[in-house]
Homo-oligomer: A and B are copies of this chain.
Amino acid sequence: MPVVDIHTHIYPPTYVELLRSRTTVPYVRTFPDAPDSSRLIILPGEDDPSTPSTSRGRPIGPEYYDIAQKIAFMDTHKIDTSVISLANPWLDFLPGEKAGEAARKINDDVDGLCAKYPGRLYAFGTLPLSAPVEEVVQEIERLASLKHMRGVIMGTSGLGNGLDDKALDPIYAALEKNETLIFLHPHYGLPVSVYGPRANEYGHVLPLALGFPLETTIAVSRMLLSGVWDRFTKLKVLLAHSGGTLPFLAGRLESCIQHDGHLKELGKTEGRRDVWDILKTNIYLDAVIYSDVGLKAAMNASGADRLMFGTDHPFFPPLEKDQKEWHSVNANYSAISTAFKDDKVAAEGVLGDNAIRILKLDL
């Protein structure tokens, strides 16, 4: 029974170089007198000047950029194959004229890393979303010719105005035409003010545990409300973190749409595809939800054959330095074995078979 991890990130060396050359978020901060204590600062708000610079962001070590460490992690956790993706914030921050070349270079680098470990690595590519739309479309076409690419990873900002932006239509059309799946992943979170006056006492918990999932949920709801899936009925999107909160809130979302007088007046509710239809036809969910309660809801929303195991490596490492097995990974393994304890086929599907089928992995 093969295990496939479809949510696992890498910052390839060219990308780390780029971050090291910067001094504002996102960047890697280095300390001349303590060369081993570089920190990766990627989230908006993570660079608060009132926080000591040595505790902003997170330490960045080789687990972020060294592919050998990814393979070692996979071996420790009995993962046969990983579909790696550039971690956030991807290339969102680059000026348009630099994004195209950076994307090509990074995609080629990542495809090259995969080639070194046949059968063990595939990847989601990165799009130069700040470049002219034609250049984005070209990269989608080019990715389809790279041997290990199985989709693209994308944040929630699109071309800067969200995923309900009509200007994305040529990109959605190219993705649909090439049967290229989007792995939709949060990055921007919510304004820190929503977490209240004592939010900094709670570490990264509130933005990571709640802000990230809601960001994903808002983004996918806007796609839905703007009719993206009515126009691109075959567009496939894999949602990070089991859909953010979409499986749980789908009923409320659908009910709010049906009860909104303003939407009805605008003629936006007639003939639309409903939330459940899209969840079961266009959306896939990873199984990165750390509990069987959440995982069962994801399964009930989309179907067990649309869920795929993930780890979110290299994020959420154990706090204990010498811990080899990662508690975060085991929490997701354990959620699968609990949720599917009476259905071995479904469990094997979530662990690997679904990914092999959906992403057409040659295993």
B161 and A196 within 8 A (CB): yes
Q: Which of B217, B251, B268, B331 contacts A290 (CB 8 A)?
A: B251
| Interface SS of chain A | helix
With a cutoff of 8 Å between Cβ atoms, the chain B residues found around residue A297 in the complex are 247-248, 293-294, 296-297
- In the bound assembly, the distance between CA atoms of A221 and B164 in angstroms comes to 30
Interface residues of A in 133-189 (CB under 8 A from B): 161-162, 164
A249 in the interface (beta carbon within 8 A): yes
A94 in the interface (beta carbon within 8 A): no
A257 in the interface (beta carbon within 8 A): yes
Q: What band does the interface of chain A fall in when counting residues whose beta carbon is under 8 Å from B?
A: 35 or more
With a cutoff of 8 Å between Cβ atoms, the chain B residues found around residue A206 in the complex are 218, 221-222, 225
Interface residues of A in 205-250 (CB under 8 A from B): 205-206, 208-210, 213-214, 217-218, 221-222, 225-226, 241-242, 245, 247-250
* Shortest Cβ distance from residue A10 to the other chain B in the assembled complex, whole angstroms: 20
Interface residues of A in 247-278 (CB under 8 A from B): 247-264, 266, 268
A53 in the interface (beta carbon within 8 A): no
- In the bound assembly, the distance between CA atoms of A291 and B293 in angstroms comes to 15
B328 and A290 within 8 A (CB): no
Contact A319 to B196, CB < 8 A, known contacts A213-B245, A249-B213 = no
* Shortest Cβ distance from residue A283 to the other chain B in the assembled complex, whole angstroms: 13
With a cutoff of 8 Å between Cβ atoms, the chain B residues found around residue A116 in the complex are none
B294 and A209 within 8 A (CB): no
A359 in the interface (beta carbon within 8 A): no
Most chain B CB within 10 A, of A161, A225, A297, is at: A297
Interface residues of A in 288-327 (CB under 8 A from B): 289-294, 296-297, 300-301, 316-319, 327
A262 and B203 within 8 A (CB): yes
With a cutoff of 8 Å between Cβ atoms, the chain B residues found around residue A300 in the complex are 292-293, 296
- In the bound assembly, the distance between CA atoms of A259 and B205 in angstroms comes to 9
- In the bound assembly, the distance between CA atoms of A325 and B265 in angstroms comes to 22
With a cutoff of 8 Å between Cβ atoms, the chain B residues found around residue A194 in the complex are 190-191, 194, 214, 218
Chain B, Cβ-Cβ closest to A258: B327
Chain B, Cβ-Cβ closest to A300: B293
B210 and A249 within 8 A (CB): yes
Most chain B CB within 10 A, of A201, A222, A256, is at: A256
A327 and B218 within 8 A (CB): no
* Sample of 21 A–B contacts (CB below 8 Å): A162-B198, A164-B196, A202-B260, A203-B262, A205-B260, A206-B225, A208-B256, A209-B253, A209-B256, A210-B245, A247-B293, A248-B297, A251-B291, A251-B331, A252-B289, A254-B290, A255-B328, A255-B331, A259-B327, A292-B300, A296-B296
